[in-house]
Amino acid sequence: MTKILLKYIPYAIVMRCYYYWYRFQKRSFNKQLKKEGYRILNQIDLSQYKKSDKLFVIGSGYSLNSITKNQWDEINRNDKFGFNFSFLNKDHIPTFYSCEAVKRDNPNEFGRSEMGELFYNLYKSRKDQYSKVIKIIGDIEENRKQHFENYGRDFFDDNLFIINTVNGVGSTESQMIKLIETLRKKKVFNVKKYLDEVFKFRATVSMAISFGVNLGYKEIILCGIDLSDPR
């Protein structure tokens, strides 16, 4: 639908309309989740968890295996933002951790999809180590909420939060520059103690980088972000 609109309507108009529509949708549903007991990330002062000026963003790519002990020592002297299956790596415990609510495809007798079942079983071994980690669930949608509660039950503790995300449209470099500049003017990338919303485009790695910008990290380093390696 967006691609069709862009053929007939100037990008700037579509971009702004999409921004307000998406923002309204996310905020409305998160208000509903808050009534059900979920906590929004802006309820805590994130600056109290920031212990360094350097943030390592840790994915679950195969290249994590090539990180040396000395490099892990450096990583562990600084703050870390892990996401998705990064918890399988036992060389670190992140400061912050995030994952998305996965789709409910072909659920088993426990109401969990194949990916949900995998996550449910693997995370159990890290539950205790992650009890003090700030856990952020991004983009819970109405049709994924029950599924997340079926497979993510070990996530639920005092350090679990949901977050309002800001998205956008852009398929060319010039459009992305325009989008980022517009959101910058709307103070989406300002340094904040209480994070009301964070920019996310397509994948969690963009949210992790934006999160680091919002918390004022001076250096953000990506580890295990293997976008072209299926291992």
CB of 183 closer than 8 Å to CB of 169: no
Distances (CA, A) of 51 to 72, 119, 132, 215: 17, 29, 15, 11
CB of 211 closer than 8 Å to CB of 81: yes
Give pLDDT tens digits for 79-113: 999 999 999 999 999 999 999 888 889 999 999 99
pLDDT at 141 > cutoff 90: no
pLDDT at 5 > cutoff 90: no
Q: Where are the beta strands (DSSP E) in the chain?
A: 54-58, 79-83, 96-100, 134-138, 160-166, 197-199, 219-223
CB of 59 closer than 8 Å to CB of 223: yes
How far apart, in whole angstroms, are the C-alpha atoms of residue 56 and residue 41? Answer: 20
Query: Computed from CA positions of residues 59, 60, 62, 65, in that sequence, does the dihedral angle turn out positive or negative?
Result: positive
Q: What is the pLDDT of residue 2?
A: 66
Length of the chain: 231
pLDDT at 230 > cutoff 80: yes
Q: Where are the beta strands (DSSP E) in 38-93?
A: 54-58, 79-83
Q: What is the pLDDT of residue 160?
A: 95
User: Which pTM does this prediction carry?
Assistant: 0.92
